[in-house]
Amino acid sequence: MISETDWLRILAELGVRPFTAAKWAAPFANAVQPAKFSAGMADIVDWLPQILHECAMLEKLQENLNYSAERICQVWPGRFQRESDAAPYARNPEALANKVYGGRMGNTEPGDGWLYRGRCPIMATGKDAYILLGDQMGQDLVGMPHLIEGPIYGLEAAIAWWEGRVPDSMLGSQVKLRRRVNGGLIGMDHCANLALLCRKVMA
């Protein structure tokens, strides 16, 4: 059992701001325990670095899509070859979400890309993911997607996402885990460094 005090220390030692660590310690103690994961602690030490990176060390529970045209081209090079292509979506998060997420991941209606943008600590994205997580959690996430922006439901969703999509055979491979969570290797160095630190502070 990992106590609230333990989580406060672990989060702080991993670099979470003290105020944020204090806010999240109790939700972590309630939701994040070895019994919730198929591989127990082996899962947690790989899951934790990934979620901390994805949600900016527990500071942001919905995807930041407020990008410059240059950044849009870097994140979605296959969709935007030139900055002029990205210009209409620069500093326009809703339009960008609908452009890059519309018509896929279960997003079939106008506005679905924005409505089902990345949320929760692992940034679950797309209506299909919201349906699946909602079924696992017993919550109507299609009707109330904002639920997973809070600590308790957010952590439950991040665990459910991980358990449903990350087989135990991937554990220990930062490249495989990053590709599964991110779809690429963005943030790889940060996650790898956090993973090394996590193994020390949770030993």
pLDDT in tens, 55-71: 999 999 999 999 999 99
Q: Is residue 178 included in any domain, yes or no?
A: yes
In a domain, 145, yes or no: no
Same domain, 79 and 40: no
Instruction: Report how far residue 38's alpha carbon sits from residue 157's, in angstroms, rounded to the nearest whole number.
Output: 15
Place of tokens 């670095």: 49
The number of domains in the chain is 2
Q: Is the pTM of this model over 0.75?
A: yes
Residue 138 lies in a domain: no
Give strand pairing partners of 119.
62, 124
Domain co-membership, 56 together with 73: no
Long-range contacts of 97-106 (CB under 8 A, 24+ apart): 97/63, 97/65, 100/76, 101/125, 101/126, 105/129, 106/130, 106/131
Q: Does a structural domain hold residue 133?
A: no
pLDDT at residue 185 in the model: 87
Name the nearest CA neighbour of 38 among 192, 182, 197, 166.
Answer: 166
At 46 the pLDDT is 97
Is 144 part of a structural domain of the chain?
no
Structural domain boundaries, residue 99: 69-115
Q: Measure CA 183 to chain center.
A: 12
Q: Is residue 129 part of a domain?
A: no
Beta-bridged to residue 124, according to DSSP, are 119
Q: Record the tokens describing residue 110, joined without a space.
A: 């106008």
> In the chain, which residues have pLDDT < 50?
none
Residues 53 and 78 in one domain: no
Cα torsion angle, 158, 194, 3, 35, sign: positive
Task: Give per-residue pLDDT as tens, 83-112.
Answer: 999 999 999 999 999 999 999 999 999 999
Query: Is 90 found in the same domain as 50?
Result: no
**What is the gyration radius of the CA atoms in the chain, in angstroms?**
17
Which pLDDT score is estimated for 184?
Answer: 84
